[in-house]
Chain A
Amino acid sequence: MNALISTALSGVVLMFVGLFARNKQTIKFFAIAAIIIAFIANLVQYPSVELGSYIMFGMIEVSKFSVIFNAVALGATLLYFLLSGSDFEKVGEHVGDYFALIFFILAGISLAATFNNLLMLFLAIEIMSIPQYILAGSDKKNQKSNEAALKYFLMGCFSTGVLLMGITLIYGSAGTFEISALGLGADNVSPLALCGIILVAFALSFKVSAAPFHFWTPDVYDGSPTVFTSFMATVVKAGGFIAFVRLFHVGFSGGTISQHWMLILSIITALTLVLGNFTAVFQQSVKRMLAYSSIAQAGFMLFAVIAMNQTAAQGIILYAAAYSVATIGVFAVLMRMHDYTFEGFNGLAKKEPLLAFAVTVFLFSLAGIPVTAGFFAKYFVLAAAIQQGHLLWLVILAVLCAAISVYYYFKVIIAMYFKQGSPVLEPVSSGFKAGLILTVIIVLALGIFPHVLIGCL
């Protein structure tokens, strides 16, 4: 709740700051201050929900789960501002607006983590999406950026329509918007509700770029300014997943209802894992590889949706944190490079050992190698699926795909450490290096002591 209010207010404030402040550094400073305030305001709420959650006006439910997830989203955004905040001004003039849009997205995310009503879900998804369409097209003179924005907008509107239709059908069958009172699991499930659930599942799959609804992702992520891709592919995607998990765990569980959608979502998960991983292998550009890797990682996060237990809830939070932090780190270094291809990274370890080391840790985390956060993230989602019992085939498939993912993540490591070359990169400030070291420490700390985060749940 506090997170929602503070981010929405910060967004408005930053628009005005952008109007009056002459210096772009000032705007960045305000943004960082605002995100820290939102982070603290959110944590302050933790004691009040520690023993139980509460629902406000039937619309939003503040719980431990939502507070912890907001902390992860806000913390990841803070790291993102620290590492990439100065890249905003390279995109265009309106730095204040960009920061404001990011804050509006965060407001949408914190609503997605707390909604208790299908209307709020719709609002959350829309608040998250609309600023993204703008950010995707913010590099106005660049054709690829325009293409990305248009593609994203058209596809996004379409999926929003599908979502709304699904919600309507569910309302028609349940007679309420409140997700904890849908009661769909009663002995006979109406076809109306089933259609609704499937439409909602498809629309949300689109938002989190799960196959076969992922076709927009590579083009949009590749065409958007890299600094915004970094945010869209991480925190926003995690926000989409939190909505997904909440809706299916609270609204569409109980009784026999989950039997009806389990198979469809399992197939979506399998497709996402296979398509994401196999296509990522063939990419030439690191940015596009990361776009496909984000699809592949979405496959793992979908496990949390279908597993439906406490481990899954812990898993999605840890996965969101591990994946967001590591990807933000890789993108931050990528933005310093002039050449986005794998060859562009050749010999980086000799020139900038710290950057190369940091990227190695982040990629280890994405690949799920122990003592990085990514290992426990994968551990928890796989454990959730194994506990669920019927998903062992999917787990084995996921494990095979994880082995494939090593191929494309290690291509970057091989280029940096084992190949000769002189990469061209922008000057790296010591502040940036300090930010990277902080990020590396967070990735390793979550990899050794994951209970710092999940213990709060």
Chain B
Amino acid sequence: MLTVLLILIPFIAGLIAFGLKGSGPKKLAMVASLATVATAIGAWCRLGTAPADLSFAANWIPQLGSQFKVGLDGMGMMLCLLTAIAFLLVFININNREYESSSSFYGLMLLSQAGLTGVFTAFDALQFYIFWELALIPVYFLCSLWGGEKRIAVTFKFFVYTFLGSLLMLVGIIYLYSQTPDHSFSWESFTTLHLGADQQNWLFWLFFVAFAIKMPIFPFHTWQPDTYEQSPTPVTMILSGVMVKMGLFGLIRWLLPVLPEGASMWTDVAIVLSIIGIIYASCIAMVQSDLKRLIAYSSIAHIGLMSAAIFSKTEQGMQGALLQMFNHGINIIGLWIIVEIIQQRLKVKNMDDLGGIAQKAPRMAIFLVIISLANIGLPLTNGFVGEFLMFSGLFHYNHWFMAIAGLGIILAAVYTLNMIQKVIFGNTNALTETTTDLQPGETLALSVVVAIILILGVYPKPILDLVSSTTAAVLKF
């Protein structure tokens, strides 16, 4: 039942938030996200002792054999935890901001949390599809209502792209369903289907395109930089920290176990696309002067590496990718928090207008340096462990792929250090003179991020242990 609670708490809180006034929604969101984190940690403890308690199934549409079936395995638990922590961080960080019609803002945020948790816990394909869509709709409204100048066109493109991808996935799901002997959507029946290679061959693309758009992987990524740039930063945090993980999650939970032969047939293509994405996005990130776009492109590069590692189908690669899914979520939210603070104080996001912030806001500068270094995977930070494992997995699959993907690390160092230098070092200008240092809420949020970075950088075992069951299960298919 804890799993159902993970979905229900934000869902109900979200519905209530629409009806509240003043600072009510803000407080409710904080309480609800704290409760979700507590529930998630409770579920984590239960996972070790009594994992059966965490699954729940109820008949939903008996004629179709579709169930409302939720459960948690290692990966699902890790992503639910990430979702819960991410929303808590976002709410802490924006605690002293005022949003226009805040009841709708917090209501939609909480609903998107419910949708995301639903995706990560679904063990029924139809239910998975429905949550997959439901997570998107609140985000669409959030971006379109509170975003930047070009928000309407940009978020619309985002919506149509992902909607098209998910419809293709729906076709795939219906096809698989029609092939199941017991007419069921459950994960178990899908994974025991063992379709012929010729069918898996084309079914692969129906699923892969949906997931590739969501991640995003080159050449399906064109919605992403614009959307990250135009969305309100709290939503960008959710988009990049949690929502893109839906695509990676889909690969591991559905694509690889259900269509193993299809996946192995197209492995090279998928990895090459991912690696093109890494190099291409890193090169573009180097010439960006817009902070938000720079982080958006760096995110494409990171996701590309994770997807390549997952397709390598080695234990190390898979473990690394799963660990990195968590770490990337935490790190990128940290980066966005700082961008949001800069944007809030100085109203600019172009790096050429910034400089010398270290002199005026030393605490923020320290946080930015630590998080950026974690983002490029320096040893002792959480990013290092994941990247090391992923590269080693990719190396086992093919040296050349690893060698080219490895260039991504060097490029990442180039654009990240360049960003640090332009934003916080150098001399102050008329604008950055006015910077003030962090407020308590912001400090708290960033301290949590940095604490996770350092702890997991030295001792990643808890997360690795958590996800190892998923890795073992997926590699068997």
Contacts and interface: CB of A to CB of B under 8 A. Distances in A.
Contact of B152 (A395, A402, A414): A414
B31 to A, nearest CB: 26
Contacts of B151: 418
A449 B163 contact: no
A311 to B, nearest CB: 9
A406 B63 contact: no
B134 A410 contact: no
Contact of A417 (B137, B141, B159, B168): B141
A451 B63 contact: yes
A449 B68 CA distance: 12
Interface string B123-145: 00000011001100100010011
Contact of B156 (A382, A400, A410): A410
A419 B145 CA distance: 9
A418 B61 contact: no
Contacts of A414: 144, 152, 156
B164 interface: yes
B133 A406 contact: no
Interface residues of B, number: 27
Interface string A388-427: 0000100110011011001100100010011100000000
Contacts of A449: 61
A410 B159 contact: yes
A455 B63 contact: yes
Given A370-B133, A386-B174, A451 B159 contact: no
A396 B174 contact: no
A402 B129 contact: no
B167 A399 contact: yes
Contact of A383 (B129, B156, B177): B177
Contact of A406 (B130, B159, B175): B159
B144 A417 contact: yes
Interface string B43-64: 0000000000000000001111
Interface string B27-52: 00000000000000000000000000
A47 B374 CA distance: 69
Interface in A364-398: 364, 369-371, 375, 379, 382-383, 386-387, 392, 395-396
A454 interface: yes
A379 to B, nearest CB: 7
Interface residues of A, number: 29
Given A370-B129, A400-B164, A455-B63, A386 B159 contact: no
A386 B171 contact: yes
B265 to A, nearest CB: 19
Contacts of B366: none
B134 A371 contact: yes
A185 interface: no
Interface in B105-158: 129-130, 133-134, 137, 141, 144-145, 151-152, 156
A450 interface: yes
Given A403-B160, A414-B152, A417-B144, A454 B63 contact: yes
Nearest to A311: B178
Contacts of A395: 171
A399 B170 contact: yes
Interface in B57-79: 61-64
Contacts of A419: 152
A361 to B, nearest CB: 11
B175 A399 contact: no
Contact of B130 (A364, A370, A451): A370
A375 B61 CA distance: 14
Contact of A402 (B137, B145, B167): B167
A369 B62 contact: no
Contacts of A364: 137
Contact of B170 (A379, A450, A451, A455): A379
Contact of A387 (B62, B168, B178): B178
9 contacts: A370-B134, A383-B177, A383-B178, A386-B175, A392-B175, A395-B171, A410-B156, A418-B145, A451-B62
Given A383-B174, A418-B145, 6 more contacts: A364-B137, A399-B171, A407-B156, A407-B160, A451-B61, A455-B63
Interface of A: 364, 369-371, 375, 379, 382-383, 386-387, 392, 395-396, 399-400, 402-403, 406-407, 410, 414, 417-419, 449-451, 454-455
Interface of B: 61-64, 129-130, 133-134, 137, 141, 144-145, 151-152, 156, 159-160, 163-164, 167-168, 170-171, 174-175, 177-178
| Interchain residue pairs A-B with the least CB separation, the first 6 | A403-B164, A370-B130, A399-B167, A370-B133, A383-B174, A451-B63
